[in-house]
Structure 1
Amino acid sequence: MTRRHLIAPLALSVMLLALLTSATSGARAQDGKQDNGKYPDWTGQWFRTGGVQFDPTKPLGRGQEAPLTPEYQAKLEASIADIAAGGHGLNEHTSCLPHGMPRMMNAVYPIEFVVLPKTTYILFDENLPRRIYTDGRNWPAEPEPAFAGYSIGHWVDEAGDGRFNVLEVETRYMKGPRTFEGSGLPLHEDNETVIKERIFLDKEKPDLLHDEITTSDHALTRPWTVTKTYRRERNAVWIPNECGEDNRHVTIGKEDYMISPDGLLMPVKKDQPPPDLRYFRSKK
């Protein structure tokens, strides 16, 4: 991967942070009451609690007990077997494809929330940001699918005291390939996934944030709900993580290979054949 591909996401993130800072300042200047009292305080750096599996209370892979259809249970089994043999199974993130929804909410690295009146942003170190539109818009007539999908949310004041405490979100129009986690636990190839979330602070411990995620997908026999919890660090220290930096995984056709320390292509499985070299002249 060229340095240009590494620099572009970093430059985009810097520009986005600058815009968000400006927008936040503007919102405070225009309506101090709205900024200080109406929306919950989700500032800080949020770390996942539990592992990087989709349901953090259960083991990876089969241990997730996902309600998969027989067809997609077979795909999971094939992915697990391929990983055991040295491949990456259905986990396309090894080639630096974005995690996509809902896997990006597994929060491999810390995440950040920026709450503005019309949009809530969720920023990631290893993915492009999520934008959750809370301006009352309808679904787009001609949506452009994206790994993160398109998210529309609305705020809820459960206590009726004039303060929002829950953000309810629906996400559609995702593209693939996507999986729930690194085991290759699959979502359906038709990419008709619909995800609903309820995001809220813990009532007793305001440094815990809960995200109830319900995924409806044709790879599942029923909607699947899990709850993720994130722990707040108020004195944030951000360390950039670029997926493409020193990534030695290579996919050629349908086969996975590795780049060795001396820069040569090497197999990842026993007796793995080399790629098709028909466009290269052999040395004589």
Structure 2
Amino acid sequence: MRNRFFHSILTTLTLLAFSSVAFAQASHDLSGVWISRRDGKTVVDTNLRPPMTPWAQARFDAAVPTVGPRVIAGKENDPILRCNPDGIPKLLGVPQPFEIIQIPNRMLMFFEHNRHWRTIWMDGRKLSEDPDPAWMGYSVGKWEGNTLVVESTGFNDIPWLDFYGDPHSDAMRLTERYRRIDPDTLEITVTINDPKAYTKTWVNQPKLYNLKRDWEIAEHYCVIDEETAYGDAIRVPAGQSGNTPK
């Protein structure tokens, strides 16, 4: 009886050890389709936003978002209404899923929203100090323990950081930290360093994403004819009537 008891304990401990090793190995594998738990809420925390510089404040004051208390129906000017790319980090807050694909020297992120994609270089290269401005920036990543740290520069200043009109400049340096906290949960933390736009570093709370093992990325494009038709049929009439479209 005693031998059977100890054999049972040994078996349990062995299984736990193998499970721990397997998850530790999987922690460096972020492949799969992920979706935000926040149902389309922004990945940056506006309540933690540092004071804006005069340059950023002027950009913010001129922004008319499609959501939130500053909406003016029919007057919205979010760059995405012209089918411009959302950019990073805004894409991390959209309600549609994204897929991560890892190959030896890079990580690819494919976003269902407007079929955007980005490359994160994992081959040990240094972050470029003067890259050409791009919608998704220029990104390099490395593992620090079980956390993937992604550093990005080289953004153009057209996209907003979120849906509410918070701007960023072409001097923005973005740090993303990806950590797989269990097999089906990914944690992403975004930190924004943009001295042209904000007087301090903008440190945001971690956001959680669920793994969808049997999902596929669907086709979702921004079509300018559809955006124009929607504006003519809904946004502009709503603004003229004083009602805000939902």
Fold-level similarity (TM above 0.5): yes
Cα pair distance change 1:82/1:212, threshold 3 Å: closer
Q: What is aligned with 2:150?
A: 169
Cα pair distance change 1:181/1:224, threshold 3 Å: same
Q: Superposition RMSD on alpha carbons, in Å?
A: 3.0
Out of 242, 248, 252, the residue aligned to residue 221 of structure 2 is: 242
Point out where structure 1 has 5 or more consecutive residues left out of the alignment. Answer: 1-36, 159-164, 251-256, 272-284
3-state SS of 1:258 partner: helix
- TM-score (structure 2 length as normaliser): 0.73
Asked if the contact 1:258–1:268 (Cα under 8 Å) also holds between the matched residues in 2, the reply is no
Asked if the contact 1:87–1:268 (Cα under 8 Å) also holds between the matched residues in 2, the reply is no
Cα pair distance change 1:64/1:74, threshold 3 Å: farther
1:206 aligns with 2:188: no
1:224 aligns with 2:202: yes
The structural deviation recorded for 1:200 is 1.0
Cα pair distance change 1:206/1:230, threshold 3 Å: same
Cα pair distance change 1:249/1:228, threshold 3 Å: farther
1:123 aligns with 2:96: no
Q: What is aligned with 1:196?
A: 175
% identical aligned pairs = 25
Out of 246, 251, 260, the residue aligned to residue 233 of structure 2 is: 260
Distance 1:192 1:100 in 2: 14
How big is each residue's C-alpha offset from its partner over 1:30-74, in whole Å with a ceiling of 9 and x where there is no partner?
A: xxxxxxx58723232101011433347x6xxxx544213153345
Kindly tell me the number of residue pairs found equivalent between the two proteins: 210
The structural deviation recorded for 1:174 is 0.6
Asked if the contact 1:44–1:235 (Cα under 8 Å) also holds between the matched residues in 2, the reply is no
Distance 2:148 2:159 in 1: 24
Point out where structure 2 has 5 or more consecutive residues left out of the alignment. Answer: 1-24, 242-246
Distance 1:42 1:140 in 2: 25
Q: What is aligned with 2:63?
A: 79
Cα pair distance change 1:270/1:82, threshold 3 Å: farther
Out of 52, 73, 81, the residue aligned to residue 69 of structure 1 is: 52
